[in-house]
Structures are given as C-alpha cells and as structure tokens.
Structure 1
C-alpha cells in the first residue's frame, strides 16, 4: 500500500471529534513496471485543524491535501489524494482515528477497515478498482419528516455493488442507528419518530463489490483464487453523522425544507467536461417559509462554491491530470434557516467525468467504406483532423465520414456504453458530421457509424 498508510498508523492516537470517512481507489494503466493507483481519503472532523493534526501530524504542507468544504461550528472535510504504484496483493487494514462526536447510539471510539483486493482479474486483465461513492459529513432531517437517502454508487469495473452496516472488526462498537434502515442497494430510509430519538447518530457502513461472473484473481508470485458472484472483493467504509432535528412546522418540500429547482441536475446525472475546461454546475433551491442560506458539498479535489443570492449557487471544478477518465461523485445539500432552526434539502449527487481532448496529431488522409442505413456503401476520403475541426458543413445530402483515431477511456463498455457513445457522437458532430448520425459500439471495440440516406 502507499507509504502514507504508515503515517496514519503512527498518528492514529491524536484527539479530535470525528465525523466520518469515505475512501475509494482507482487503478490506472501499467507504467514503469507496475500498475498506477489513485487513492481518495476524505475524512471529516469538527474542525480543519483536527484533520491536520490527525492525518498529517500537524503539517499537511508536503502532502496533496485539499479542503472540500466546511460547515463552521460543525464539521470540516478534507481529502488526501495519494498516487503511486501497487503490488498485486489482497490485504486488510484497520484504522482507529479518534473519538466520534457524542451520539445517540453510544459509539465513542471510531474504527474502520479497508479490505483492498488489487490482484489481477481475469475478466479485465488488470487489477480492479473499488466502488465509488460519496456523502457529506452531516445529514439532517426533522423528526416528523420521511426521508430517503439514496447513495450514488458506481464501479469502474461494472461489478455488483452492495451496502450494509459494518460489523466488527470494521467498527469498534457497531450499534447501527435505530432510526435509519439501510438496504443492499445503498438506500437509507428514515421514518417519522418521536422527540426522544432526536439528536446525532454515528453511521458506520460498508460498501462491497462482487463480480458479475466467476473470475480468477492472480497475485504477485503466481498465487490465485477463484471468486464467484457471491464473493466480495473490496470492502470500503462510508461513515458520517445523521442528525434527527426537532419537528418542522411542515414537511412539504419548498416550504421549510429546501426544494431543488431547474437547472439543478437530477440525482444520478452524468456530466462530462474536457480535461482543460472548468465545469460549472448551477444549483437553485427555494424554501418559501425559510431563508436558504448555504450549500454544503462533497466533491472532487479543487471544487469551489459561490452564491449569487438566496437559493442561487454555482459549483466550479477544474480537473487535473490525475482526474482524467475517472468518475467523480459530487454530492450537495442546500440548507435553510427559520427562527433558529436549520433545514436541509434532500441529498443530491451527480457523476462528473473529465475526458481528454482527442490527439492533436494530424493523421494522413484515409479512404474507407462504412455502411449507411440503406446498406449502400459510401466511400469517402477523410481530410486531416485539423481540417475537419475548422470546417463548416454545407447543406445538402449527408455522408458518412471516417475518422482514423484511437479512443482510450477508463469507462466500462458494460456499464457506461451510453456515456461513451454520447461522447463520441458529440465529438463527431463537432468535427462536421450530421447531428442525425447513429452510433453503435461493437463487441470488438470498434464503433459503427450510420446516417440517414439523402
């Protein structure tokens, strides 16, 4: 594992008020004699200084640590991005950060376990990545209001993802919140309860990935193990605080509880941006009986937020090289205040992906034949890519153009085919093809392009 794990073990005794962790890792290409990995450690405490004390031993300046967001007087979330090479192994690691904030389910000392299976998989011919998800450190709901929290989970390898409450040794005291039920599909449900159950709860969950077919995992040295569809591979923690607040005057969204308005993206939306462009996400919300005061977020490193007035927010993110091709889970809630009470909207999460620009190398002209929808072959000569990019298509019959290019992506053909297809289609249209083209991903990895007959 990367060297910073030793640092965590050495300083795990630091005192702080803990608000949880979300961990994930993604395995990239084989470079310099090993597979490269990016790890995402987002840990939350009652203040940013406590993160620095626990994670960095008092000085985070040499480390790639970023502030994600903070709710002053409650929590601060920072993320450490670790990048390095890995060995083809499978190991478990246990961490004991510090004490939780005081909570109703009586959990004092925090504890979480990482079980990371980085062995080479027979189905993708490389090590797999862990499930990807996210959540803000503190989710709140009035005691008289129904609330469902649907975690947005994804898996770069197309595995089956399941959620559950943690059990020892994945936690120290493992008592789950009595007011919150979790399903294997990663949905949490809260039903109205009485005032005696109001207060904060420590939530300790585990996300696991399971192969969708029987596969073989091979480690350094040649040892191997067969995994079936009932065998978990990775186990990663999701830990956060769930607070039951005093009853609200009304549970109708848009009155005291903020309601999202267009053009706020829907929960689960997939948003792509080019690697050199800044992505802006517009969030609007209203609460007619309260004042919408702030948006709280948990997203990729480097994300920022701003407000242009009550209920109007902009989230901004510029990807860096290590973000290219990765799905980043971006979560947010809007908070409103009325007579000293705080109300939260639903948790909303989207997937953001940075895609690299096509190669700027100019290919030689090529001649190729592609089928049209009328099954009559159309032979065309493709000019260099730079010519296509700067040309304007003239009105008239539509023709199929052929691009001699290679497309590389970390998206899965099995689970992300629609996203891949849309990205390719957008690029072909930008380069001069008609908007009515139809794309089909073939099992060979090739792309078949057809257009309506003139």
Structure 2
C-alpha cells in the first residue's frame, strides 16, 4: 500500500547574522560607456548570503565567494554589467532579507544599505561619474589594550576628493556609531585602548563620498538639462559596513609577539601592483608571531583570488584577471590571524591596489549548473524559496558550510512505510536526502506534525 503523508519538519542550525557590505559602481573608458555594479556582502555563512541576496539561487547572475573564516563569516560578491542605465540621478536602498546584524554593543539591528550616484555626463571627464572603489574584511578585531589605526584604502576612478563619515538619517535604521572608534573625513579609523567593559562586537556603518575637485556641470544627454556641482556637493555616495570586535586584552601589544606582524616580501600598504589581462599575479605574504600560532590568512578582493599556505606565516594570494577586468583598479585587503590559548589575534589591515592592463570592458557570459530547488514554508507561514547551491565555477570556490537558520519544511512524501510504526525510519531517510542535497551532516530534523492525505493501492 502506498500512502501519501504531509509533513511539517523543523530544520535547525546556528543563528544567522549579517556582517556588512560594500556597494560600488564604475564606468569604463570606451563609448558607449558600460556600467559595472559591484555588490559585496558578508554573513555568518555562504548559504545565508545567497538566501539574503538572491533567494538562494545565485547562479544568474553568479554570486562569487571571495573568502570565508570557518564558523564565523563568509563574504561573497556579485558583479553586474549594464549597457543601459539612463542619464539620471541614481539612488538605491537595499534591505538584507530578514537578517539582522550580528549582536553588537551599539544596538544596530536591521541592516540598511543606500547607494547614490549621478549618471549624467560630467563636464570634466565627458562621461558619467564612478563611485569610490574600496573593500573591507567582514570582521576587523583588536585587543582592548592595544592602540590600532585602520587606514582604509579607497580610490576614485575620476580623481575626485574622497571623504568618509558615519551613516546618518535615512541611510540606516539605527545610526549609532561605535563609541570605541574615531573616524576622520580622510577615511582613517582610530582605536584607543579601553577597559574590558567595552569589549565585544560593534556594527560599523559608514558612507564614502566623492566630491569634484573643481566646479563641474552635469548634463542630461536626453533633455540637455544641466546642473552645477561645486566642490562641497557630493556626486556619489556608497555604503561601507563591517564588524569591529574589541577582544580581551593581549599579554603584549608589540607586533610580532601575540599580534602577527608582516615581514618582507609582503607588499606595503597602498602599493599599486600592475598586471596584464590573462597573466597570473602572485602576492607573497610573510608574517610572524613568536608567542602565538599563526592559523590563517583572510582577505577581501576581486572575484577569482585564491590563497595558499606554504608553512607557518607564509601565504600566497593568486589572481588571474580576465578580459572584463582590463583597465580596472581593484583594492585587495588582507590580515593574518594567530591563536594562543584560545585567544585570537589579528594583524594590522593591509591593502594594495591591483591594476589591470588593457581596457576591454565587456564581461563574458558565465554558465553555472542549475541547483536543485527545495520549496520551504517558514513557521510564520510566509512562503520562501531556498536552494542547494552547486559548486561554483569560480577558481576560489569553497564548500558552503550552511545553513545557519531555522526553517520549517512543508513537504508531501509517498511511501509504503507507516508514520505510526516507522516514523523514525522515515525521518532518517528525509535527513539523509537533505544531506545529499547539500545540507550539513549535523542538522537537526524534528517532526512538527503529519497528516495522511490519501491511500492508494498500486494496480496489480
């Protein structure tokens, strides 16, 4: 006898959390101008980022993994190319699904991202404005007793004046800046030693803006209407968000003891590295921490960067730009982490510019296998859809460790087994199928309810 049964299952994992994002856009140098839109987003797992950004199906357009710190955060990026954008002022407000910021000391809960730019023709460069270009790791950390200056690396393709400030007003839901950080308009963050009561994570919500260095005119190509921008009026504004964690005090703040320090041939902060399209770039990174064990290198940069370790404190970042990267200037930031008696110590943040030769601005189409889709109903009865992502075709692909959330799966199965007598066997089969679809082996599957909806007897 074949019975059909409706099941409501609770699938449980760790708590999901948002770790920040950066959104930029830029224009190439060849007419008709092509707009490149880059969205970098960070969460507690790679699968969570997929769900927030594109409902779980991040294959069209691809959402590439940049890097991840196991059991802590994952950073991904989406790059979109637009040939039609219109001569207008662009403003976009983005909400991050149903996720909340990681629990933080300054009380920021709901993420909010606002980017604005002006796509009208600039009189000084005869093309639309490009926003500042930058990146950041999802989590920057420092011991509570150690001074730390964080010099962000930000460039502007149009040579504009770059200024930073904390987000305010409609740019965030709660806009309380982190009390332990000082931010200068020149985009330098400063942390001074504090007491243990200030330890913990802080949500950093910043805006990076570009201002013309001289008065310019913006012209609407369709209507001819013009607007003047002075040196005190921003043309573009991008969100810049990450988590800053104040850790317990370190036994020593001297770089190279507990806190890793960089050694040659590690490139200096702010260095520009030139590379031609379709040539491989290798960046050697060497570090030491005499009183701690160096465990990993963490980075944020363009899609396709891979990392390798060749012994304690020795790492290599490798990148091979494709045709669509020609003429672009990518920031690449990294830190080294060490561990001692369960405490984690992070080096200074170091960033370089990677500039590619050639000025081809078209990106090739990318084909990625279609994932298997599971339709879910949440416990609030709001329908959502998530997917089991395939292995990415990008060189830096890493297996997704998620899901890190609680879901209710509403499903119907047909089986010759009885829910009354064989429920344990059925639950185990369902769990094995979910694991086969890509969910982790440590998921917990609970039966919330079941209902027999029909009984059929196969024809003899």
Q: Same fold (TM over 0.5)?
A: yes
Q: Aligned to 1:82, which of 80, 83, 93?
A: 80
CA shift at 1:29, angstroms?
4.0
Alignment of 1:229-378 (within 5 A): 229-356=231-358
Taking CA–CA contacts closer than 8 Å with sequence separation of 6 or more, which of the two structures ends up with the larger relative contact order?
A: 2
Number of the residue aligned with 1:157: 158
Q: How big is each residue's C-alpha offset from its partner over 1:42-77, in whole Å with a ceiling of 9 and x where there is no partner?
A: 100100001111112111122222100000111100
CA shift at 1:91, angstroms?
2.3
List alignment gaps of at least 5 residues for structure 1.
1-14, 359-454
Number of the residue aligned with 2:60: 62
Moved more, 146-155 or 213-222: 213-222
Q: How big is each residue's C-alpha offset from its partner over 1:284-324, in whole Å with a ceiling of 9 and x where there is no partner?
A: 00000001110000001100000001000000001011211
SS at match of 1:196: helix
Q: Sort the Cα spacing of 1:92 and 1:45 in 2 relative to 1 into closer, same or farther, 3 A.
A: same
Work out the CA distance in 2 between the residues paired with 1:181 and 1:96: 26
CA shift at 1:24, angstroms?
1.1
SS at match of 2:253: coil
Number of the residue aligned with 1:397: none
Q: How big is each residue's C-alpha offset from its partner over 1:171-200, in whole Å with a ceiling of 9 and x where there is no partner?
A: 110000000010000000000000000000
**Contact 2:129/2:236, CA 8 A, preserved across alignment:** no
Number of the residue aligned with 2:119: 118
CA shift at 1:168, angstroms?
1.5
**Contact 2:277/2:321, CA 8 A, preserved across alignment:** yes
Work out the CA distance in 2 between the residues paired with 1:30 and 1:259: 42
**Contact 1:203/1:240, CA 8 A, preserved across alignment:** yes
Query: Hey, which bits of structure 1, 4+ residues long, moved more than 2 A?
Result: none
Number of the residue aligned with 1:198: 199
Work out the CA distance in 2 between the residues paired with 1:30 and 1:280: 29
RMSD, matched Cα: 1.4
Number of the residue aligned with 1:91: 90
**Contact 2:199/2:246, CA 8 A, preserved across alignment:** yes
Work out the CA distance in 2 between the residues paired with 1:60 and 1:68: 14
Alignment of 1:103-182 (within 5 A): 103-182=104-183
Work out the CA distance in 2 between the residues paired with 1:350 and 1:30: 26
TM-score, normalised via structure 2 length: 0.73
Number of the residue aligned with 1:437: none
SS at match of 1:322: helix
CA shift at 1:30, angstroms?
5.0
Work out the CA distance in 2 between the residues paired with 1:191 and 1:152: 21
Number of aligned pairs? 342
Q: Aligned to 2:46, which of 39, 44, 48?
A: 48
List alignment gaps of at least 5 residues for structure 2.
1-14, 361-460
